[in-house]
Structures are given as structure tokens and as C-alpha cells.
Structure 1
């Protein structure tokens, strides 16, 4: 089964659900492929399509189209012999109803629907598209939050002449004999509610194809919100400098970066670090996280062995670790290494060997809004100048 999110960048329910499945779910039987950020530039810019609507480029796309590579690559994935069922995730307007009720609930709306292009697809592994969509619809409706959120099936009957849907990803999948569906959550709902409905749909489609799974949270709106807002790790230069993307301040100053092109990785596929005129902007999908105002340094190999005492106990850490502290911590001195505890007011240039408590930290230098998380940075003297040698985070709990 192939799950796709983010084909349109202003539909966060879809790409948030796909990213949660990619990072949090454990597949215990079967095979699930997830593309959570198909149109990443549009996600970052909160735009339906920065280069036009990507979901209208599957009938034909010119080689000079900026989306050519992404569309061509996902077509190859869809056509792969291992893929039997394709699910494309969207957020749609209003609430679809078979009959007109009002401006927000009528046949022209797309929200809260299971979309199929046709009732059956002979030659596909799962040919009865209508029966499968009905099963998913019924499962979602057993768990709806409000009667207004009731799901319906919307059959676009694409092959009969829907000129727009003929250009779509799901219809391309149909032409490759793949059972294809779209799930639409209403744009009238907040992000966690949309994500909740997408996860309900994803899980039932997985059951249809025999995929078994576990997840580390209950499928409730409250727990989905926690999953969206969970701590995400962002690493620069192979853990030389690490941030945990949770409740960060809107700007972080004096971030020790290299002057060369930035290099980063993250535990979540929706994290992006974007160059600006005087620094970098960090995004989580289409949510702004923080702005990094750099102080440029040459870097040496990040420290792999950092000794410290935390609440009276000896610990060893490496660059990029986060250490929980209840009362105090003390960094052991190292030859040729200078320790700088950002936000600690000391008379000494090297702050190793000092017993540091939270009441001696300046809250304005914390990286989080509550004033609990602080950077401890290490510098090595070489060729007469300080070179950055890694860091750890300490979190007062």
C-alpha cells in the first residue's frame, strides 16, 4: 500500500497524517510505503501549488515544468509491481452531501469524503473500489466527532469525461491497474481533527490489504494533537549542533554554524531549514518554528565523550545529546576544550567544573519559551582561534 500526502501544500491534515504514520507507526505485517511531502516547496509556502496544481499534471507534464521530476518519480512508485493500493490524502472544502443542504453542505463540496474514480477496476488486486470505500466510510462514521462530520462516498466517474480528474494522481493510478482512493478531510476542521480522520481512513485501508500495525498512542483527537506537537530532533553537521523542535522561541541567536552550505537532518520529513538574508528559518510543514541567527565558526570533530555530574550522578554524553536535570549539573574539564554554558553568568572563560543550578541561568538565553532548556557548547583552541567542537542540551525538569 502506498500513502501520499502533501501533493497540495495548503492541506496540512494530509501531510501531517502521512508524516505521523511514517515516523510513529510500526508495521508488523505487510508493506506500507509513505510519501508524506510530495510537493514540499508548496507545503513550506502554504500554497496549493507554487508551480501550479501538481494534482493536475498526471495526464501530461512538460519536461521544463518545475514539477516534472517529482511527478515523474511518483509515477514510477505508483507503477511499481509491489504497489496494490494507492491512497492520496487531501483536505477539501466544506462537507460533501449528495443533495444540496446549504452553501457549506452540497454536492460541489469535497470535505469528509472517500473519493473513487469508478465503482470497479477489473484487473486490479482489489477491484471493488466502491465496496472498499464503503467499508472505510462506515469505519470513519463509527468514530465521528460530530454528526456534521459524516463521511460520504464521492464517485467522480472520471473516465466518463471529468476533464480535471483525468489529470489527477488517482486516475493515473487507475490507468496502471492500481486500486486508487483519495481521502478528503474538511478544511472547516482544525489540523488535529483533519489528521484524526485521515488516520482512521489510513488504518482501515491497511486492514483491507492485510497490513498489521501498532502505534504508540490512542487514536483520539487529543492524542493526535500530541503526536503532531511531539518533540522532533533537528541535527546540524552530524550532531555537531542539535535542536529539539518543541516550544522553541521564535528566534535563537549566536547559533554556531559553518559559513559553507548548511547541512542538516531531522527525525521528521516535514522539517525544513531555509536560507534567509541574514540567517535561516526553520519550518515544520507550513508552520514557522524559529529563526536561527548564526555566528560563524570553523568546526572540528564533535566531542564523543563528555563527562558530567548530574544531580550527584556521573554521566557520559556525546555531542547532540539532551540531558535531564532536576537540581544541578557540572561539566568535567577537558584538555584544550573550553565549555560555554549559554545563559550562565560566570567570571570564568571556561565554565567546566562549576556546579550550575537553574536559578543561576538567565531565562532570556533558554531555547524554549518556558526557560527550561539551555545550550552547553564546547570550543577547541586551534591555530590561535576557537573552533566549535559540539554541544549538548540540558533541560531542567
Structure 2
């Protein structure tokens, strides 16, 4: 199931050349309004984009339609910055044609105004805990945390979700029925943007309401102690809005902060050029001599927040704002080996293809009868042997410093035609 949505957002980005991911989960595109959930407009608010990522990964829509943009400002997410090109959420009324954020802003504006979109949620982490009366620097009327934010009380037209204040109040009440701590309670914050907040006139939600689209911001507090607490509240709020719109869903996990914390640590996997596979679980901080092409490498993450950052001598791998590994490449032209790989795993025959992995209890052997193809099992050596196929290999035969994981049980198996790189698989010892 996860692979299906990965292929979907890759396809959408390819077709429409979007600068961010757009993940569509739909059951009726003709008669049912769509909920649009946007995370990551501010790159230093991880509760927003990790909540959107989990929504994409672990929710199945049974009735209705859900669109998810988990990484609107993905370069700022990498750098854990509110906005490396300035505040993107202040560029929706007008934006300079030379602004680096122009493509992202124009693209999301077009999605917001799509006739199918019936309600928009913009996810944020905000300072402090909102209170109508001043208590201290954390609990006060100028705080944004733990609020359902609206720009005005109602839309000016007869829209089924046009009573913004009533809806926000209802969602806040539902959220307050299940709090981790009592002081986490939610309230409605009406910025009364048209008359009282000049800066908010340039925001995404105000752009939406001025185009007759109901829009709300969900603000969890930056002062919550753990990321999974923020994500817990964000997902609960999103579920409230799905319920309001009649969107029926299933999720594949027990809904509590502890389980969410486990899911947040599942970074999935990465394929490169459709011939290389890396499991991102327990990945080492640095990997050397990963075979790549000299240009136009295609990185595809299973995680919606996966991204890369090219440096002079290495490529950094990110999940959201977390740099999980630096890859030092080794450049090779592409070979033309067969991608059908024959194995003997614990004495049993098996066939796999490039960019996959396999698990071993005792030993494995790569079966190769092609004299033009050379197998290089990284971390394994046998004196006088250049092609390491047709050899029985155990975990004790490996030099652990060549493992890709911190547990020292996962190793690369690479296939070459002379200096040309064909592909790679991973072996994991149990």
C-alpha cells in the first residue's frame, strides 16, 4: 500500500512539475469536496510536516477525498528554517517575479483554488499557549500554540463549510476531550485579518478565504516537549475535519503518542536510479563509495519527507529536517547486466532483482554464470578472488566497518561489467 502512494506522488510531480509532493487519496472525484492538508510552509515547524507525512503513509480513505502536501517549503525544511527565502506565508497577496518561492506559491495557489477543493488546513507549530488573558510570556493572547486559527468568522457566501468560527470552536472542543496534559487545551484564535492584521493579509489561509475557500490553520505549541505530542494533536485535529466533511478513513496504528513516536522513527528506504537500494533504518551517518552516475541521479524515497542536498564532495540524505546520512559517491557509467539475480539463501533457491534486499540467517551465495558480470560483496574478501559470486558467505566473513547500518548486519552486494555499474542489492543478517 505504501508503494502505491509513493508511485502516485512521483507520477503527479512528473506530470505537473510541482516543486513539492502532492499525494491524492480519492474515492469520488466528481461529487465529493476534497480536504486539502498542507504541511511545511515553515521549515522549522516539524509537527506540521511530520503529521502530514504520517497522514500520507498510514491512512486509507474509504469514502471522500484527501489531498496532502507534506513539504510545501522543502528546502527550508532541510535547513530547519522558517524560510530560507523569507516567510513563504507572507507571499500570497503579492510576490516578486524573481522570488525563489514563486513556483511553490503559484503552484499551491492553483491547487487551493481548484474547484474540487472544499476545505483547506494549513499546519503549523506556534509559540507558547494561546490564552485570552495574559498570564506570562508563554501563556498569553499573543501566543499561537494550541489554536484553531481563522481569518474571519464566516465566509461571505453560502458555503457548506463557511461558518469558520462555529467549525473551529467545534474542533477545539473535540480536541479538548483528549489532552495529554490539561494545559494543552485548544481555543479559537480569530485574527480578524481584514481589519486587524495587515501581515496576515498576505497569508495562505487569507488567500483561500478571499477566493471563497474555507481555510483553517492548526497550530500546535512549539513548547510541547516532544515531536510526537505535536503530531498527535495535529492528526487528531485533521481527523476532526475529516469527520466534519464525511470523509471515512482507516489508519494502521493505535492512536496514541507512544505509537506515533515509533512511527516517526521509521524512515523507510531509498532507491537510486532504480538499481540501488538503501534501507534507512539504523543507517550509518556516512557511507562511502556509493555507485552513482556522474549526473542526473534519480533518488526516490519511500518516506514523503525524503530529500537530498548536493554538496561539493557528498550528497546529504534527509527525512524532514533530520539529516540521516552523508553519501560519498563513486561515479561509474551504467552497465547493462541482467537484473534477474539468482541466490541461494540458507540453502534455498531464490530470485530477486536490483534495488531490493534479502534476509539471511546463516549464509548466502550469489549464483552467477555470466563471465562478463563481476560480483563485489562489500566488506567480504577472499584472497585471489576478484569475482565473489558462487561463494558461500556468512556474517563472520565480513569486515563490520563496511556495513551500512549501526548494527553491523547489513551489507551491499554490487554487480559490475568491468568498470560499469549495473546495480546493487542489500543483504541483512538476522
In the other structure, the counterpart of 2:73 is 39
Q: Distance in 2 between matches of 1:60 and 1:193?
A: 35
Partner of 2:245: 209
Query: Which residue is 2:400 aligned to?
Result: 363
Structure 1 Cα separation of the partners of residues 131 and 381 of structure 2 = 63
State the TM-score, normalizing by the size of structure 2: 0.89
Secondary structure of the corresponding residue to residue 27 of structure 1: strand
1:111 has 2:111 as partner: no
Asked if residue 282 in structure 1 is aligned to residue 317 in structure 2, the reply is yes
Specify the SS of the correspondent of 1:32: strand
Q: Offset of 1:302 from its aligned partner?
A: 5.8
- The answer to whether structure 1 residue 316 and structure 2 residue 351 are counterparts is yes
Instruction: Provide the rounded CA distance (Å) in 1 between the counterparts of 2:230 and 2:111.
Output: 26
Task: Specify the alignment match of 1:232 in structure 2.
Answer: 268
The answer to whether the Cα contact below 8 Å between 1:234 and 1:243 also exists between their aligned partners in 2 is: yes
Give the Cα–Cα distance (whole angstroms) in 2 for the partners of residues 28 and 198 of structure 1: 21
**Aligned residue among 102, 105, 119 for 1:68:** 102
Between stretches 130-139 and 311-320, larger displacement belongs to 130-139
- The answer to whether the 8 Å contact 1:125/1:179 transfers is no
Shift of 1:126: 0.7
What do the CA deviations read for 1:218-247 (whole angstroms, capped 9, x no partner)?
111122122222142211112x11112222
Task: Note the C-alpha offset of 1:304.
Answer: 2.2
Q: State the distance in 2 between where 1:337 and 1:66 align.
A: 46
Aligned pair partner of 2:116 in 67, 82, 97: 82
For 1:156 and 1:128, the matched residues in 2 are separated by 15
Question: 1:393 maps to which residue?
Answer: 426
Alignment correspondent of 1:21: 55
CA distance in 1: counterparts of 2:389 and 2:280, whole angstroms: 27
Q: Cα offset for 1:23?
A: 2.5
Matches within 5 A, 1:1-397: 1-121=35-155, 122-189=157-224, 190-238=226-274, 240-301=275-336, 303-335=338-370, 336-347=372-383, 348-381=385-418, 386-397=419-430
Please state whether the residue corresponding to 2:65 is helix, strand or coil: coil
Question: Corresponding residue for 2:21?
Answer: none
- Distance in structure 2 (CA, Å) of the matches to 1:337 and 1:302: 7
Q: Distance in 1 between matches of 2:358 and 2:96?
A: 51
Structure 1 unpaired stretches of 5+: none
**How far did 1:261 drift?**
3.1
Which whole-Å CA distance do the structure 2 matches of 1:23 and 1:84 have between them?
22
Q: Retained in 2: the 8 A contact 1:55–1:167?
A: yes
Name the CA distance, whole Å, in 2 between partners of 1:378 and 1:73.
Answer: 41
1:308, 1:331 within 8 Å by CA — same for their partners in 2?
yes
Indicate the larger mover: 25-34 or 126-135: 126-135
Find the aligned partners of 2:136 and 2:336 in 1 and give their Cα distance: 64
CA deviation string 1:133-177 (max 9, x = no partner)? 122212222221111211111111112231111111001111111
Q: C-alpha deviations, 1:299-358, integer Å up to 9, x for none?
A: 124642101111221111000111011221111123021111111132221111121111
CA distance in 1, matches of 2:337, 2:140: 59
Change (3 A) 1:137 1:334: farther
| Alpha carbons of structure 1 residues 200 and 302: separation in structure 2 relative to 1, 3 Å | farther
What TM-score, normalized to structure 1? 0.96
Is the 1:303–1:390 Cα contact (8 Å) retained in structure 2?
no
Change in Cα spacing, 1:18 to 1:302, as seen in structure 2 (3 Å) is: farther
Unmatched tracts of structure 2, length 5 or more: 1-34
